Chain A
Amino acid sequence: MRLSRYVFPVMASLGFGFLYAPILILVIYSFNESKLVTVWGGFSTRWYVELFQDPQILDAAKLSLQIAASSATIALVLGVAAAMTLVRFRWFRGRTWLAGMVAAPLVMPEVITGLSLLLLFVALDNWIGWPSGRGVTTIVLAHATFGMAFVAVIVQARLRDMDRTLEEAAMDLGARPTTVFLTVTLPTIAPALVASWLLAFTLSLDDLVIASFVSGPGSSTLPMVVFSKVRLGISPDINALATLMILIVGLGGVFGFWQMRRSTHRRSA
C-alpha cells in the first residue's frame, strides 16, 4: 500500500519533527552564552547559575512542588474512588452525575474553571469563613479537582482492561471486598496509579491560569513567575529551567518505555 509506504510516513515524520524541534531548540539555547536567540555566543552554563541564584524562582518552585505533591495525592484518592464507582459500582444512584462531571474538567476552558472556583471560594469565605483568604489551600483544592478528572480517566481504562477472574477467585476464597481491593485490585492497577499521580503532579506544577485566579498575595507559583518574566520577552534562564524539566520528564519517559517493554516481554515469555 503506497499510502502507508510513502505519503503518510513522510507527513508523520514531519509531524514528529514539529513536535520535537521547539523542545530541541529550547535545550540548545539554554547553553548559549549570548542573550540573543539568533546569535550563538558559545557554550556556557551561566543561565543555569543565574537560575539557581534567583530567589524568586527558587521560592516559587518550592511552593509549586508542595502544591503539586499535595493536590496530586488528593486527586489520586478521589480519582480512584470515582473510577471504581464508574467501572464497578453500576448500582450507584449518583453515577450519571459523576460520569458527566468527571469528564468535563478535562475540556473545560481554564479561564472558566479558574473564575468559577475563585467566586466559590470568595462566597464560601463569606458564608462559613472557610477557606479563609486565598493562597496555598485554595490552589491545592482547585488542582485536586482537575487532577482527579485525569486520574479517573487513566484508572478507568486500566480497570476495564483488568482481568477480573483474579478478583473473583479472591472473593470465592472468602476475602472481603476491602481485602480484595487492597490485595488484588490495587497491586494490579499500581502502574496506572503511579502514572496518574505523576500526571496530576505535572499538571499542577504547570498550571498558570487556574492558579492565577485562586491564588492570593504571597502565593505566586512557578508558572506565575515564569509567565510574568516571559511576557517581557525571551529570558535565557527560563530556557535553562525548561531544559531541567525536559530532562526530568525525558528520563521518566525512558524509564516508562523500559518498564513497558519489560512487562510485554514477561507477558509473551
Chain B
Amino acid sequence: MRLVAKLKSLQRDWVSWVPTLWLGVFFLIPFLVVLKISLSQATIAMPPYLPLFDWVESALEIRLDFGNYLFLIDDPLYGAAYLESVRIAFVSTVITLLIGYPMAYMIATAREPRRTLLLLLVILPFWTSFLLRVYAWIAILKTNGLLNGLLMSLGLISEPLVILQTDLAVYIGIAYTYLPFMVLPLYASLSKLDRTLLEASEDLGATPWISFVTVTLPLTIPGVIAGSLLVFVPAIGEFVIPALLGGNDTLMIGKVLWNEFFANRDWPIASAVAIIMLFVIVGPLMWLNRINSKTEEATS
C-alpha cells in the first residue's frame, strides 16, 4: 500500500521531477563523464580514448591515469593560460563595472516611461547575435579600421594604433558583450535604494560625492558583486572573443581547450583542462548561488 501511495505522489510530482532529471542527465552527469575521460589515456581511435574500466579475465580492471593532469602541471603553457584568463576576466569585469554603474544609476533615477525605454535599450543588444556584435569590433579596431581612421583624421594620432589582436581588444569585446549582465543586477539594487537615506546624508552636510561613496555605493554592493560575478565567471572560459579579437599570443584557457579538442583531437587533455577550469570557477559560482538564494528569500 505504501508503495502505491509513493507512486501516486511521484506521479503528482512529475512536474518537478522532469526538469530535475533532465538537468541531472544533461548537466550534472556530463561533468562526471568529463572527469572520467580526463583520467583515461588518449589513443588514435573513435572515440579517441582508452576505456577506464575493463574486464580482464573476469576481473574488473580500473586504469586511472593521472598523466593528463601531470602533463598540465608540467607544461608551463597551461598554468600561464589559467592565470591569463583570470587576469583578463578580472580587468574586463572592472571595465564593465565602470561603464555599467553610471548607466544603471541613470536608469534607476529616470522617470517612467524613460526608465522602461532605457532598460530596453540595455537589454536589446543582448538579443542580437553575440557573434555578430563581436565581429562588429573587428572593423572598428583594425589597424586600417574605423577608429584609427577617425583618430587620424582628427589629427589626434599620426600613426595607427595597434588594438586588434591585443589584450585591449579582448577587454573591449568582453565589456561590450557582457554589459547587460552587469547593468541589470546593478539596476535592481539601485532601484531598491531608499532615497530618504540620501536626503538625510545631504541634510547632514555631505557633498554628493561623499553621499555616493558612503551611502549609495555600500548599499548597492550586493548588486556590484552579482553583476561582477555574472561577467567574471563566463569571461574566464570565453572562446569567441579571444579567437576573433585577441592575438595569437592571447592565451585564454577557453581557446586552449578548443584547440586541444578540435586541432589536437586530444579529448583526455581537453577534459583535464575543463576539470581544472571548473575548480577555478567553483568558488565564484557558489558565491553567486548564495547571493541568488538570499535575494530569493528576501523577495518571497
Closest CB in chain A relative to B85 CB, distance in Å: 9
**Contact between chains at B198 and A1 (CB < 8 Å):** yes
**B296 to nearest A CB, angstroms?**
8
Classify chain B: how many residues form its interface, as a range.
Answer: 35 or more
Give bound CA distance, A246 to B109, whole Å.
28
Check A82 against B19 for contact (C-beta < 8 Å): yes
Residue-wise, chain B 144-184 has the 8 Å CB interface mask toward A (1 for contact) of 11100100000000000000000000000000100100000
> Which residue in chain A gives the minimum CB-CB distance to B235?
A109
**Interface check B224, CB cutoff 8 A:** no
A172 to B242 CA separation, bound complex (whole angstroms): 58
Q: Among A11, A141, A257, which residue has its beta carbon within 8 angstroms of that of B26?
A: A141
**B271-284 to A contact mask, C-beta < 8 Å, 1/0:** 10010011001000
Assess whether B88 is interfacial by the CB under 8 Å rule.
no
> Does B23 count as interface, using CB distance less than 8 angstroms?
yes
Closest chain B residue to A116, Cβ basis: B30
Encoded as 1 (CB less than 8 Å from any A CB) or 0, chain B from 96 to 137 comes to: 000110110111010011001110111011011111110111
Once the chains bind, are B124 and A253 in contact (CB under 8 Å)?
yes
On whether the beta carbons of A202 and B127 are closer than 8 Å, the reply is: yes
Contacts of B13 in A (CB 8 A): 89, 92
Residues B136 and A26 in contact, CB atoms below 8 Å apart? yes
Residue B39 lies at the interface, judged by CB distance under 8 Å to chain A: no
Q: List CB contacts (< 8 Å) of A137-183 with chain B.
A: 141-142, 145, 148, 152, 160
The answer to whether A12 touches B129, judged by C-beta atoms less than 8 angstroms apart, is: no
A16 to B107, CA, bound (A): 11
Q: Are B109 and A117 in contact (CB under 8 A)?
A: no
> B236 contacts A109, CB within 8 Å?
yes
Contact B271 A111, beta carbon cutoff 8 Å: no
Q: Which of B19, B130, B132, B149 is close to A98, meaning CB atoms less than 8 Å apart?
A: B19
Which residues of A, 239-258, contact B by the 8 Å Cβ criterion? 241-242, 245-246, 249-250, 252-253, 256-257
Distance in Å from the Cβ of A170 to the closest Cβ of chain B? 18
Are A227's CB and B131's CB within 8 A? yes
| Tally of contact residues, A, Cβ under 8 A | 94
Min CB gap A269→B, angstroms: 14
Closest A residue by C-beta to B138: A234
Residues of the B chain whose Cβ atoms lie less than 8 Å from the Cβ of A29: 139
Q: For the complex, what is the distance from the CA of A227 to the CA of B33, rounded to whole Å? A: 28
Q: Is A69 an interface residue (CB 8 A)?
A: no
A208 touches B240 (CB 8 A): yes
Asked whether, in the complex, the Cβ of B208 is within 8 Å of the Cβ of A2, the reply is: yes
Contact of A206 among B30, B102, B105, B130 (CB under 8 A): B130
| A87-B300, A97-B20 known; A246-B29 Cβ under 8 A | no
B261/A115 in contact, CB under 8 A: yes
A78 touching B19 by the CB < 8 A rule?
A: yes
Q: Is A122 an interface residue (CB 8 A)?
A: yes
Q: Whose C-beta in chain A lies nearest to the C-beta of B107? A: A12
B230 within 8 A of A: yes
* Complex interface: chain B residues within 8 A of A38 (CB): 144-146, 149
Partner of A1, one of B138, B202, B270, B288: B202
Contact indicator B135/A109 (Cβ below 8 Å): no
B70 to chain A, nearest CB (A): 20
- Let me know if A238 and B145 touch, CB within 8 A: no
B131–A249 touching, CB < 8 Å: no
Q: Which residues of A lie under 8 Å from residue B278 when comparing CB positions? A: 112
Residue B233 at the A interface, CB < 8 A? yes
CA–CA, A57 and B50, complex, Å: 38
Give which listed residue, A7, A95, A226, A252, contacts B132 with CB less than 8 A. Answer: A226
* Chain A residues with CB under 8 A of B78: none
How far is B135's CA from A76's CA once the two chains are assembled, in angstroms? 30
The one of B24, B29, B113, B127 in contact with A249, judged by C-beta atoms closer than 8 angstroms, is B127
Asked if A208 meets B27 with Cβ closer than 8 Å, knowing A103-B292, A104-B285, A110-B237, the reply is no
29 interchain pairs, CB-CB under 8 A: A2-B208, A8-B106, A12-B106, A16-B118, A19-B121, A19-B122, A23-B133, A37-B146, A78-B18, A78-B19, A85-B20, A94-B20, A104-B27, A104-B285, A107-B233, A108-B237, A109-B236, A109-B277, A109-B281, A111-B274, A112-B278, A115-B261, A116-B30, A145-B22, A148-B22, A226-B132, A234-B139, A242-B136, A253-B124
Q: Give B residues with C-beta under 8 Å from A.
A: 13, 15-20, 22-31, 33-34, 37, 47, 99-100, 102-103, 105-107, 109, 112-113, 116-118, 120-122, 124-125, 127-133, 135-140, 142, 144-146, 149, 176, 179, 198, 202, 208-209, 211-212, 229-230, 233-234, 236-240, 243-244, 254, 257-258, 261-262, 267, 270-271, 274, 277-278, 281, 285, 288-289, 292-293, 299-300
